[in-house]
C-alpha cells in the first residue's frame, strides 16, 4: 500500500499560530469560490473570503476552524500557509 502524500499546514493570526501540522487536505473559501488543496497542488496565492476552513487530518477526521472573515493563502512545495 502506498503512503499518502501530505501537506504541511500552518494557520496563523496576528497573536500567534492557530494550527501547525501535516494534513491530507484543506478546504478554504477562496476569492473565486471554495477550493480543496491536496499534496502536489500547483503554487497559488489567494485572498480568502468569509467562510469555513475545513482540514482533513492524517487520522481521517475533519477539523473545522469556524467562520473566517478574511485572510490570505499561499501554497508552495506542499506547504500551505494561511494568515487570518
36-80 pLDDT per residue, tens: 999 999 999 999 999 999 999 999 999 998 889 999 999 999 999
Instruction: Say how many Å lie between the first and final Cα of the chain, rounded.
Output: 37
pLDDT surpassing 70 at residue 1: no
Using pLDDT thresholds of 50, 70 and 90, give the confidence band for residue 6: very high
Give residue 43's pLDDT: 97
Give residue 57's pLDDT: 97
Helix ranges restricted to H, 1-84: none
Yes or no: say if 9 and 83 are a contact pair by the CB < 8 Å rule.
no
58 is written with which cell numbers? 492524517
Give residue 30's pLDDT: 92
Q: Are strands 16-30 and 51-57 parallel, antiparallel or unpaired?
A: antiparallel
Q: Measured at the alpha carbon of residue 9, what is the angle toward residues 78 and 20, in degrees to the nearest 5?
A: 140
Amino acid at each position: 500500500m502506498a503512503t499518502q502524500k501530505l501537506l504541511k499546514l500552518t494557520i496563523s493570526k496576528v497573536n500567534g499560530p492557530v494550527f501547525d501540522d501535516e494534513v491530507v487536505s484543506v478546504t478554504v473559501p477562496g476569492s473565486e469560490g471554495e477550493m480543496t488543496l491536496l499534496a502536489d497542488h500547483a503554487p497559488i496565492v489567494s485572498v480568502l473570503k468569509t467562510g469555513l476552513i475545513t482540514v482533513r487530518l492524517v487520522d481521517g477526521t475533519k477539523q473545522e476552524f469556524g467562520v473566517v472573515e478574511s485572510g490570505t493563502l499561499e501554497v508552495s512545495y506542499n506547504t500551505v500557509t494561511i494568515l487570518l
